[in-house]
Chain A
Amino acid sequence: MSSTDPVVLNWVRSALEGDQEAFAELVYTYQDSVYNLCYRMLSERTEAEDAAQETFLKAFLNLQRYDPSRSFKTWLLSIASNHCIDRLRRRRMVWLSIDEPTPQLTLASDEPEPEETIIGNQRSEAVQELINSLSPEYRAAVVLRYWYEYSYTEIADILDTTESAIKSRLFRARQMLADRLNEQSAPGSMTALLENA
């Protein structure tokens, strides 16, 4: 597992002493990574933002538990993924039907979007729609593997399970996604969009 940059370790040390500016540096450095994980897990931008905020708050309040021999980013993503899994489990209990499509809340803008951005957003949402069909544990394994390129050992460490469990989850997840993709392979559908990208 990769070790943490000495600059980051200095920020962590200062933040432990109550220096909020040092913690702000950590937030600026890792906000994209944490937000992307939360978005890919929760598939809803407002909720992802809230989850990212809570992840950083938890990190600050538990900073003394961080082991400097481990990667700070991995530790942070471990908090984020476990938080998102908890949220998804709670959400599942609240929802009347999990088959209903998730509402996509995006901020409306008057400015016309460039074509590339539109295609990028469509691709992002098409991938997201597929990932939504996975259970929280499978989803976390897929996101950590594909967006963060973590090894099976690292993912197992983050999700507090075994390497063989992660291998199995990833294989099953890929199969489920392939089945889902197959179901939606009508002309002009998501598959076409993903294939053309």
Chain B
Amino acid sequence: MANARKKRLMQEALDESLEIAARQELFQQLDRDPAEAAEYQRLLMVDRMLRTAPFERAPKTLAMNIMARLAETLKQPQLSHLSGLALALALSLVTIVLVPLLAGAAWLFLNAIGSAAALSALMHTIGKLLALVMAGIDTLVEGAQVLLETYPQTPALMIAILPVMVFWLVRSMGNRPSDSSEAS
């Protein structure tokens, strides 16, 4: 009997999924070969031992410990979620401030590109402006850090205020066309 076939038959015999004919073939082979018969006996013994091995029950405190650990774990992501939102908000604010400045600078640059003196003056002005913006951002970040250390609830407060601000902006933008239509 080829080794792979012998292995498959033994495996299926242990799993009790071997057909009668194949089972007879295996046993006839085992009768002829004592070494293989001994190997099959050893495998059968391991199989029987594992089948009757006891099931370990969980300690009585396991469920309680899991729920306590879960409660503890759920607290931490809430804090980091708040910090993440605060960071996103700060980045949005910085972008809002920077976009008009960059757009203005680009417009000035395109206009002044024809004159060397004007270009030099413009570059000088842009440099000053950027330095000013950087200093402003630096102060803003430092202030935010101090504020966050002093009042850890600030990000939550800002998040609470943000929808009100958005609502106010949307409402004021929505009022504008009706004002003009009333005027006409």
Q: State the A residues within 8 Å of B (CB).
A: 20, 23-24, 27-28, 31-32, 34-36, 39-40, 45, 48-49, 52-53, 56-57, 60-61, 120, 123-124, 127, 130, 142, 146-147, 167, 170-171, 174-175, 177-179, 181-182, 194-195, 197
Contact = CB atoms under 8 A, between A and B. Distances in A.
Contact of A174 (B46, B54, B57): B46
28 contacts: A20-B67, A23-B67, A23-B70, A24-B67, A27-B66, A28-B63, A31-B63, A31-B66, A32-B58, A35-B62, A48-B56, A49-B58, A52-B66, A53-B69, A56-B70, A57-B69, A57-B73, A146-B51, A171-B7, A171-B10, A174-B43, A178-B39, A178-B42, A178-B43, A178-B45, A181-B42, A181-B49, A194-B49
Contacts of A35: 56-59, 62
Contact of A175 (B43, B53, B62): B43
Given A127-B53, A170-B11, 15 more contacts: A20-B70, A31-B58, A32-B56, A35-B58, A35-B59, A52-B58, A53-B65, A56-B70, A57-B69, A123-B53, A127-B50, A146-B51, A174-B43, A174-B47, A182-B42
Contacts of B160: none
Given A27-B67, A56-B66, A124-B56, A181 B73 contact: no
Interface in B1-33: 7, 10-11, 14
Nearest to B52: A197
Nearest to A171: B11
B107 interface: no
A61 B10 CA distance: 43
Interface in B139-154: none
Given A23-B70, A167-B11, A123 B54 contact: yes
For B11, B45, B63, the residue with the greatest tally of chain A CB atoms inside 10 Å of its CB is: B63
B65 to A, nearest CB: 6
B53 A147 contact: yes
A34 B59 CA distance: 12
B63 A127 contact: no
B173 interface: no
Contacts of A36: 55-58
A34 B66 CA distance: 12
B170 interface: no
Contacts of B65: 49, 53
B96 interface: no
Contacts of A194: 49
Given A23-B70, A36-B56, A170-B11, A52 B62 contact: yes
A167 B133 CA distance: 67
Q: Which 9 A-B pairs have the closest CB atoms?
A: A35-B58, A178-B42, A146-B50, A31-B58, A127-B53, A36-B56, A177-B46, A39-B56, A56-B66
B59 A181 contact: no
Contact of A181 (B46, B67, B69): B46
A27 B60 CA distance: 12
A178 B55 contact: no
A144 B71 CA distance: 30
Contacts of A171: 7, 10-11
Contacts of A28: 63
Interface in B44-94: 45-47, 49-59, 62-63, 65-67, 69-71, 73
